[in-house]
Chain A
Amino acid sequence: MGKIIKGAFLGIVNVVFIWIALYLLGAEAYLVFVLLLLGALLTNVIFLLPRAYPYRYLLPAAFFMVLLVVYPIVYTVYISITNYGTGNILNKEQVVAQFESKYTLEPNSDSFAFQTYRDPQGDLWFLFTDSLGGQLVGHDGELTHLREDDPLLRQLAGYTELSRVDLVRATNELSSQSFAYDDTHELRMRNINAFNLYLQQYSYDRERDVLLEVQTGIVYTPEDGYFRAPDGTHLTPGFRAVVGFGNFRRLFGNPQITGPFVSVFIWTIQWALLSVGTTFVVGLFLAILLNDPYLRLRKVYRSLLILPYAIPAFISALIWRGLFNTDLGIINQILQATIGSSVPWLQDPFWAKVALIILNLWLGFPYMMIICLGALQSISAEMYEAAVVDGATAWQQFRHITLPLLMVSVAPLLISSFSFNFNNFSVIYLLTRGRPPIVGAQTPAGHTDILISYTYRLAFESGRGIDYGLASAVTLVIFLITGAITFFNFRFTGALEDVNKNV
């Protein structure tokens, strides 16, 4: 029975593999095709070889992880060494095709009068007459020079000729028509009365890999993602190209980018430290009070204080944005009523940061309270009894017993919390969007932007154009930092030794 199920499963999987493989071959995606073959081979080996049994359990998770995390990471690394972004979105072939399709009106060129016909299929036919009386028929991008009594003329006579009113209605359709006249000229509509010869602006020399401006003879060579002339000017758009460490050099060497990056970086660290610090202090304080068995209503307090943590953070952040609203928000109304002035919460760099810390305190203190309560309960009461015998004050007990013992189990969680807040995108993005902006920054950096929100705006939201290349470079910096913190944390807790020991 098990064998039959296994066989059927493997059969279906292989059919799917073959189906995708055929599609990939059709789309000429050979690299992906090879990867797919490897994957298919691996799957079959895992299911047919008894020795590979454990890998069956890993297959589903590994499949999604490789496809949707590992592959995007590799792609991000690749993008970080390219100039991918506004102005360099297309690849080189697409850009060359774009330049080759640019035409300018040939000066003093002959005008062609034209009549337009529509055949029963609805396609357009043109009969052109040049100033000397020579006639050409244009259809589907091609021109035919007419001889006397050409049968094409009779053919045209059978089609419906478009009136002037029809022509005006069909202007868009007409102006998209073009007919190759010779190697460098095209016949295109100039106005409702005439077609003219247009000269191709650029021609691409495949062998020398240069772009030639036909009229002036200037040679443009591809370099760093642009076609550049000898005098240093370049054509736009550029194309996607590998620029090596260019993005990293910009990040660390261009004052207009480095300046904001450094200030964003510093705030990111401050933010993560303050977030962990404030939530931990408040959480621990409450945990100590709640841990007191003589405190009445402690269960009620506990379940009510946990509530902020049970609400999805994106909803809380949007709610607090309403509370912090400068003109109408309840917080400013209360301040107005009690101390007679209001605070520009989301407009002033300092107060925007304070607002963020308050919000994050609200979101995060219940978590710290829960873990501290857990840790406090594991500290034995005998310690305190001994301390009391020795005459220790409450503060001394806290300082020398509670805190050190608590830290043993809580410290790793504080470090994870640090790296969580280091990348706590949603709170920043939903409350302030990184605003107010830093004046004079070349990239879209704000005073409350942390690295991850800054990167997000670089990649997706910049009014001055997106910059995937630079964004990917910053992503890798974030990856390195949080990776290092996590690694340190696991070293610290001995989790890695655990892995070593078991092998």
Chain B
Amino acid sequence: MYRRHTFFRGLWRHAIMLVFLVFALFPILWVISASFNPANTLVGQSLIPRNASLANYIEVFTSEQYPIALWIKNSVVIGLITSTLVVVMTSLAAYAFSRFRFKGRREGLFASLLVQVFPQMLAAVSIYLLILSIGKLIPSLGINTHAGLIMIYLGGAMGVNAWLMKGYFDTIPTSLEESAMIDGASPFQAYYMIILPLARPILAVIFLLQFIGTYSEFILASVLISSSDKYTLAVGLQLFIQDQYASRWGVFAAASVLGALPIVLLFMFLQKYLVSGLTSGAVKG
């Protein structure tokens, strides 16, 4: 259906591309420009800032009232721990679903899918009360702790993740494991030394999607976390900007650039894995 272009045909294609590039990139460029604009307001901003300075970035790192850099760190740490644990947990479960036949296997797969449909954030009241009572027993897992928050995310992470991973494991031929087991490997060793290395692409996809999802989650985090030094970026940034676009735009822009950076980098890094994951049904959270 594609033919070599004449000059004119080529030109209008590039014109269309240009229109969409402007649409896609303008907001990004505008925010980057605002982050270097010392005026810190929406008023009178131009695409190439006059008197460009790093003042907004310095504010992000030094403000005591709004420790934005700390929020970014909190988000990254929570995201990394959650995603790592999720990959471990779901790969174990997916291995069982893919390689073993046992009672309740079908029901378990169904349940994990059905449960995923339930919006966990709407159960925030009961989750709050639950964490409150867990906290009475084990204070380090209670309200206003990162560990408590991570625990909540672990609960909501099964479902589609386990499903996707099981689908991938199913495509790995069992002959390798079988020969390993003849040589005396236990099923756990087969999982650890054969399946996991072969399944690296799907592990990367689940890790990335989980990291982005955790990084962006703000409802449960805002219900659970109450002190400013423990906020995640998604909670803190929202409270920081509220309706104060006229007076905090510059610092907000700097925070946005810094806050988006970890995800954009991770995204670029794992992009080739991601595309295959998306085509098999994952949706970014």
Contacts and interface: CB of A to CB of B under 8 A. Distances in A.
B80 interface: no
Interface of B: 1-5, 10, 13-14, 16-17, 20-21, 23-25, 27-28, 30-31, 41-43, 45, 88-90, 92-93, 95-96, 100-102, 105-106, 108-110, 112-127, 129-130, 137, 151-152, 154-158, 162, 186-187, 191, 212, 215-216, 218-219, 223, 234, 237-238, 241, 245-246, 249, 252-253, 256, 259-260, 263-264, 267-268, 271, 275, 278-279, 281, 283-284
A337 to B, nearest CB: 13
Nearest to A493: B281
13 contacts: A68-B151, A69-B118, A69-B158, A72-B127, A296-B14, A308-B27, A311-B263, A312-B215, A313-B284, A322-B241, A330-B30, A426-B216, A459-B125
A394 B102 CA distance: 53
Interface stretch (A130-138, A209-217, A482-490): A482-490
Contacts of B212: 312
A79 B167 CA distance: 36
A490 B113 CA distance: 10
A311 B260 contact: yes
Contacts of A500: 106
Contacts, number: 255
A437 interface: no
A318 B27 contact: no
What are the 7 A-B residue pairs with the smallest beta carbon separation, nearest first? A68-B155, A72-B123, A54-B100, A57-B96, A75-B126, A310-B267, A328-B42
A50 B59 CA distance: 60
Contacts of A398: 1
A455 interface: yes
Contacts of B45: 330
A362 B27 contact: yes
Contacts of B23: 362
A475 B156 contact: no
Contacts of B43: 328
B127 A68 contact: yes
Given A328-B41, A370-B279, 11 more contacts: A60-B92, A307-B28, A309-B267, A311-B260, A370-B278, A394-B1, A413-B279, A413-B281, A460-B223, A482-B117, A499-B110
A289 B42 CA distance: 36
A410 B202 CA distance: 20
A387 B126 CA distance: 59
B24 A425 contact: no
A43 interface: no
A38 interface: no
Contacts of A416: 281, 283
A69 B120 contact: yes
B4 to A, nearest CB: 5
Contacts of B2: 291-294
A503 B101 contact: yes
Contacts of A289: 13, 16-17
Contacts of B249: 322
B71 to A, nearest CB: 12
A426 B25 CA distance: 21
Nearest to A478: B119
A289 B12 CA distance: 11
